A and B are shown apart, each in its own frame.
Chain A
């Protein structure tokens, strides 16, 4: 099963250009539900209505208003919004290449694969060169009337682009030092480090399955067949009192497991 490209563009770095096709790297696996009227299970529709009188407002009479402050907003007409849309020339401009750790996890938004378009030599050459440098390329482009910022990377011989959040979306992490009562002792830190060490392994994403999704499917199947279901409610956990004691017991359990 192959996927269709969502867009075509060209990476522009200095004097060089590399033509690429863009493919979403995400496959939707969510379980989708319809909203129904409880009374007779009629699927409901969404309507846009005036809040004061509940009357439906057709698409052509709807407008968007940009908030100026807490009190005021300005209505922007469709032709005004059209004029503000950026022009696309299909160029993906590479602005700089930064070390991989220059971008923390909060920046990354949606992942895409890039594939070669026409000249696969240039495509695979860039993938090779970028992999060697161990850097991320910061890129800007216009796609379907919107501006994007992304990080270009290379893995397994292919180029990838992950769109990035904008600077004002990423909340800074201030340095935090807990007060005395909440500062762990050296002994506790040492135990915790040993515990972390004892359950450290490789990241194996394929080992993790969305069990909830699977159970939801099972539940739906059972219900569709008319099977009666037994419901279980969740119980909250207690906080840990004796920290060092819990750590020691956990460590013993983790070690025991490894020996066995």
Chain B
């Protein structure tokens, strides 16, 4: 990936660049993570605080290997190891790798949340012109999502392209064969429940009914607990070490590094005038008539300044590259 020359936000890098096609209209776009990693991720050290890292080790040669000494192999049922090269991976998806072809549009509320896997923001490339805004407006007005698929990093992704507040998002969907059903799990057939029990439970639901989310209920209490304890311990001076060169314990660094400064991306890619979207303020949906105001408010206040982890990111990304296409 080329280095980003926009210096204030080195962490802002697209995951992927490609084209949305919609009929004969092509819209070049860049893909960015739309959710940030949880704040409970810790760094791996030894007892004295020396930074630790994951390395690939050849048990036969008894030595650490560089990423360019590795290949990916598939073990067939007969136990044979078949090596698949990068070129072969790419070759498995020739036309599709750079395109998200929107083959059909569906009502957004028809897609069960069970399908939602991971959201990405789509920012228009400078060559996109007004086609991007056109698609965003059209979908927002109709309450529709466009369905298509594309290939990124050795996986084919089924996506729903969703429009909100003038911005397009690609929500990765699970394929139907990746979801179990009550039958495949072996759940008992639904039985008619006693009417009195249904009524009693309906009453409990009514008693707890609210028009909107309370973000305090959605807080990351595990992360908060860890941070509070860490701050407390740091005051005693015990166990404090320098952050340099530390690697994430869960190996999720590739994601952690891709935290985006969304506002920056928008300003630069959309040439957009961005309405009040600071923390806690309610964003007004221009040209997004159909989006629910409650939802907008909830999300706006959920905004967090993106944490930057420059040192750990580069190594983690390299590592992820070697792991790609699993």
CB-CB under 8 A for A174 and B274, given A48-B52, A182-B130: yes
**Are B294 and A76 in contact, CB atoms less than 8 angstroms apart?**
no
Interface size on B, residues (CB 8 A): 208
Q: How long is the Cα–Cα vector from A219 to B176 in the complex, in angstroms?
A: 23
* Nearest-Cβ distance from residue B60 to partner chain A, whole angstroms: 5
**Are A44 and B56 in contact, CB atoms less than 8 angstroms apart?**
yes
**Are A65 and B42 in contact, CB atoms less than 8 angstroms apart?**
yes
* Nearest-Cβ distance from residue B1 to partner chain A, whole angstroms: 16
Nearest-CB residue, chain B, relative to A119: B197
Nearest-CB residue, chain A, relative to B85: A231
**Are A46 and B176 in contact, CB atoms less than 8 angstroms apart?**
no
| B residues near A48, Cβ cutoff 8 Å | 44, 52-55
A72 at the interface (CB under 8 A from B): yes
| A residues near B266, Cβ cutoff 8 Å | 174, 176
**Are B205 and A97 in contact, CB atoms less than 8 angstroms apart?**
yes
**Are B201 and A179 in contact, CB atoms less than 8 angstroms apart?**
no
A30 at the interface (CB under 8 A from B): yes
**Are B211 and A166 in contact, CB atoms less than 8 angstroms apart?**
no
**Are A71 and B295 in contact, CB atoms less than 8 angstroms apart?**
no
Q: Map CB proximity to B onto A202-219 as digits: 1 under 8 Å, 0 otherwise.
A: 110110111111011001
CB-CB under 8 A for A253 and B165, given A113-B185, A173-B299: no
**Are B188 and A115 in contact, CB atoms less than 8 angstroms apart?**
yes
Residues of A1-56 contacting chain B, CB below 8 A: 1-3, 13-16, 18, 23-52, 54, 56
Pick from B34, B74, B184: contact of A31, CB below 8 A: B74
Pick from A173, A205, A213, A229: contact of B167, CB below 8 A: A173
Q: How long is the Cα–Cα vector from A115 to B210 in the complex, in angstroms?
A: 26
| A residues near B84, Cβ cutoff 8 Å | 33, 216, 219-220, 223
* Nearest-Cβ distance from residue B270 to partner chain A, whole angstroms: 6
A259 at the interface (CB under 8 A from B): no
**Are B69 and A175 in contact, CB atoms less than 8 angstroms apart?**
no
* Nearest-Cβ distance from residue A216 to partner chain B, whole angstroms: 5
* Nearest-Cβ distance from residue B109 to partner chain A, whole angstroms: 7
B233 at the interface (CB under 8 A from A): yes
| B residues near A106, Cβ cutoff 8 Å | 34-35, 119, 169, 171, 299
Q: Map CB proximity to A onto B188-231 as digits: 1 under 8 Å, 0 otherwise.
A: 10111110011111101111111111111111111101110111
CB-CB under 8 A for A51 and B245, given A34-B81, A75-B239: yes
**Are A76 and B233 in contact, CB atoms less than 8 angstroms apart?**
yes
Q: How long is the Cα–Cα vector from A237 to B141 in the complex, in angstroms?
A: 28
| A residues near B19, Cβ cutoff 8 Å | 236-237, 239
CB-CB under 8 A for A137 and B205, given A29-B178, A96-B210: yes
Q: How long is the Cα–Cα vector from A113 to B308 in the complex, in angstroms?
A: 36
Pick from A175, A197, A229, A240: contact of B27, CB below 8 A: A240
Pick from A122, A164, A199: contact of B105, CB below 8 A: A199
Q: How long is the Cα–Cα vector from A43 to B112 in the complex, in angstroms?
A: 40
**Are B179 and A246 in contact, CB atoms less than 8 angstroms apart?**
no
**Are B90 and A233 in contact, CB atoms less than 8 angstroms apart?**
yes
| A residues near B137, Cβ cutoff 8 Å | 184, 189, 192
* Nearest-Cβ distance from residue B3 to partner chain A, whole angstroms: 20
B177 at the interface (CB under 8 A from A): yes
Residues of B18-44 contacting chain A, CB below 8 A: 19, 21-28, 34-39, 42-44
**Are A74 and B239 in contact, CB atoms less than 8 angstroms apart?**
yes
Q: How long is the Cα–Cα vector from A50 to B45 in the complex, in angstroms?
A: 8
* Nearest-Cβ distance from residue B132 to partner chain A, whole angstroms: 7
Q: How long is the Cα–Cα vector from A32 to B326 in the complex, in angstroms?
A: 5
B268 at the interface (CB under 8 A from A): no
Nearest-CB residue, chain A, relative to B241: A73
**Are B43 and A65 in contact, CB atoms less than 8 angstroms apart?**
yes
Give the top 6 A-B pairs by smallest Cβ distance, nearest first. A250-B23, A2-B186, A174-B277, A157-B190, A212-B156, A125-B193
**17 A-B residue pairs with CB within 8 Å:** A3-B180, A27-B184, A35-B70, A44-B58, A62-B52, A64-B43, A105-B169, A111-B179, A115-B185, A121-B191, A129-B199, A166-B220, A166-B223, A169-B304, A171-B304, A184-B134, A196-B142
> A182-B128, A208-B158 provided; 4 other pairs, C-beta below 8 A?
A67-B246, A167-B302, A170-B302, A200-B104
